Amino acid sequence: MRRNQTLKFICEHVHLRVEANDTPFTHDTTVGQVLRIPIAHGEGNYYADGDTIRSLQEHDQIVFRYTSPDGSLDDASNVNGSVDAIAGICNRDRNVVGLKPHPERACEDAVGSRDGRVVLQSVLSLLRVFRWTHCELRVTDDVFNRRCSGR
């Protein structure tokens, strides 16, 4: 990560387009879906050399891109100047996702968006499916709702 292209801290809602929905964090989304999610960072400018970017593209590892509200790529929507408008990537096994936007801060309309819930719900729905051998993890909708709404 590099400093934002403006060299200033940015705290605002941005639009992210889902590029891949085959990760634990995006399987409840659709490719092309646009989410309104906040960012809050001074070093959010994703940078990688050309070979790395080509490899990410070739292996479909770009998970989110900064876009306009209608999902179009444009310079104005890429507020921090990330290479290829990249907002989130995953590893080749697709089980680790790294992103600068904060879906956990977009769980209720009162905070400007509830679009982050789909990312959190994706993870929780997988947790409900899996039963661990040595322990059981039980996450109920009630717990999820309280954590996301601050109640």
Q: How far apart are CA 128 and CA 142, in angstroms?
A: 14
CB 122 within 8 A of CB 24: yes
pLDDT of 50 over the 70 cut: yes
pLDDT at 71: 98
Please state, as a whole number, how many other Cβ atoms lie within 10 Å of the Cβ of residue 150: 9
pLDDT of 2 strictly over 90 = no
The average confidence (pLDDT) of the chain is 87
pLDDT at 112: 87
pLDDT band at 3 (very low <50, low <70, confident <90, very high): confident
pLDDT tens-digit profile of 131-148?
Answer: 443 344 454 555 545 545
CA distances from 31 to 38, 113, 125, 132 (A): 20, 19, 18, 30
CA Rg value for the chain: 16
Domains of the chain with CATH codes: 10-149 (3.40.50.880)
Chain segment 86-119, per-residue pLDDT in tens:
999 999 999 999 999 999 999 999 888 999 999 9
